[in-house]
């Protein structure tokens, strides 16, 4: 990403790099959780469905 805004504070290069890594890791787990919940909800719904 090209830097085009004037900074108000120094974010620190190291801090931005680690932020990208941490956000990537957390984003990955977040996605896993979302999909995990979706899959879980399919099974839970099935379980709770009234017998036909």
Least separation in angstroms between residue 16's CB and other proteins is 5
**25/42 with CB nearer other proteins:** 25
d(CA 11, CA 15): 7
Give just the sign of the alpha carbon dihedral 40, 43, 44, 45.
Answer: positive
- Binders of other proteins among residues 18 to 47 (CB under 8 A) are 18-20, 22-27, 29-31
Using CB under 8 A, list all residues that contact other proteins: 1-3, 5-9, 11-20, 22-27, 29-31
């Amino acid at each position: 990403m090209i830097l085009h805004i004037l900074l108000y504070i120094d974010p620190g290069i190291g801090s931005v790099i680690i932020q990208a890594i941490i956000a990537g890791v957390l984003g990955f787990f977040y996605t896993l959780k979302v999909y995990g919940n979706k899959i879980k909800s399919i099974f839970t719904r099935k379980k709770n469905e009234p017998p036909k």
